[in-house]
């Protein structure tokens, strides 16, 4: 039997569309955006290391800096309440002590499990080849980005995931170390000023292999 929650989730997922033009008279407050980021951070990640980082570009100065880096996506940049630059932190494992100690303090994990997990993390991540690490980090960060888009929808806002940007120049332009922070995707965010387009999806039969 379908529950109200399932209905709600389906409406959110099916109601989300890429929106590229936003009302320029509306600004999302820092408090509200912080709440959305906090809620989206419930996304799962490898070893719970949460590699996603967000640069919120909302000032005129920031938007002007971003504009030449977003290729054909200037309308989103010019009209959105904020452009959210999602990066993956390739040194995410440096937060592992904080995360796992807090889990023990809060009674969410026994100390022996923490010790075992930290041992495994410290033996694994710093040694991973860069391309393998990047692969893991991008999966984790994409889960976060998706949750953020649905959270925004739940708050009455719309988004557009943007892959068309100058990846090689993004970190440096916003004062992040490009060796450490790897760009994943940009999300434009704001109040819709267009309805967007309906789009087609492949059917379950086309995408599912039953064995
Ligand atoms: C990783 C990724 C990159 C994308 N890059 C762009 C982009 O650069 N510009 C754009 O207008 N839309 C971009 N899109 C949006 C897709 O075109 C859109 O999600 C797709 O057509 C389905 O439409 P919908 O989002 O309205 O459901 C991107 C989507 C994803 C997931």
Identify whether 136 is part of a domain.
yes
Structure confidence at residue 5 (pLDDT): 75
Choice from 160, 187, 200 to test ligand 1 binding pocket (greatest atom count within 8 A of CB): 160
Distance CA 25, CA 23 (A): 6
Place of tokens 């290391």: 49
Structure confidence at residue 163 (pLDDT): 98
The residues, ordered by sequence, that sit 6+ positions from 71 with a Cβ below 8 Å of its Cβ are 164, 165, 166
Question: What is the CA(74)–ligand 1 centre distance, in A?
Answer: 14
Identify whether 211 is part of a domain.
no
Identify whether 121 is part of a domain.
no
Confirm if 177 and 70 have CB atoms less than 8 A apart.
Answer: no
Does ligand 1 lie within 6 Å of residue 160's CB atom? yes
Identify whether 120 is part of a domain.
no
Q: Which domain CATH number covers 21? A: 3.40.109.10
Structure confidence at residue 1 (pLDDT): 66
pLDDT tens for the 211 residues of the chain, in order? 677 877 999 999 999 999 999 999 989 999 999 999 999 999 999 999 999 999 999 999 999 999 999 999 999 999 999 999 999 999 999 999 999 999 999 999 999 999 999 999 999 998 999 999 999 999 999 999 999 999 999 999 999 999 999 999 999 999 999 999 999 999 999 999 999 999 999 999 999 999 9
Residue-range definition of the domain harbouring residue 156: 15-92+131-191
Identify whether 185 is part of a domain.
yes
Identify whether 103 is part of a domain.
no
Identify whether 204 is part of a domain.
no
Identify whether 3 is part of a domain.
no
Distance CA 77, CA 91 (A): 29
For ligand 1, atom 9: residue with the closest CA: 162
Total domains in the fold of the chain = 1
């Amino acid at each position: 039997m379908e529950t109200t929650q399932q209905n709600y989730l389906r409406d959110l997922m099916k109601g989300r569309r890429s929106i590229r033009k936003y009302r320029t008279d509306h600004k999302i407050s820092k408090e509200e955006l912080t709440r959305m980021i906090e809620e989206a951070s419930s996304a799962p990640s490898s070893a719970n290391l949460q590699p996603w980082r967000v640069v919120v570009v909302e000032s005129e100065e920031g938007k002007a800096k971003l504009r030449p880096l977003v290729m054909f996506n200037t309308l989103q940049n010019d009209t959105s309440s904020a452009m959210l630059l999602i990066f993956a932190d390739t040194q995410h494992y440096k937060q592992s002590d904080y995360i796992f100690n807090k889990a023990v303090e809060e009674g969410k994990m026994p100390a022996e499990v923490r010790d075992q997990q930290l041992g495994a993390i410290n033996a694994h991540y710093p040694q991973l080849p860069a391309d393998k690490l990047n692969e893991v980090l991008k999966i984790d960060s994409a889960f976060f980005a998706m949750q953020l888009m649905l959270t925004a929808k739940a708050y009455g806002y719309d988004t557009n995931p943007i892959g068309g940007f100058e990846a090689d120049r993004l970190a440096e332009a916003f004062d992040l170390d490009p060796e450490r922070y790897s760009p994943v995707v940009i999300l434009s965010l704001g109040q819709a000023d267009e309805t967007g387009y309906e789009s087609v999806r492949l059917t379950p039969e086309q995408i599912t292999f039953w064995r």
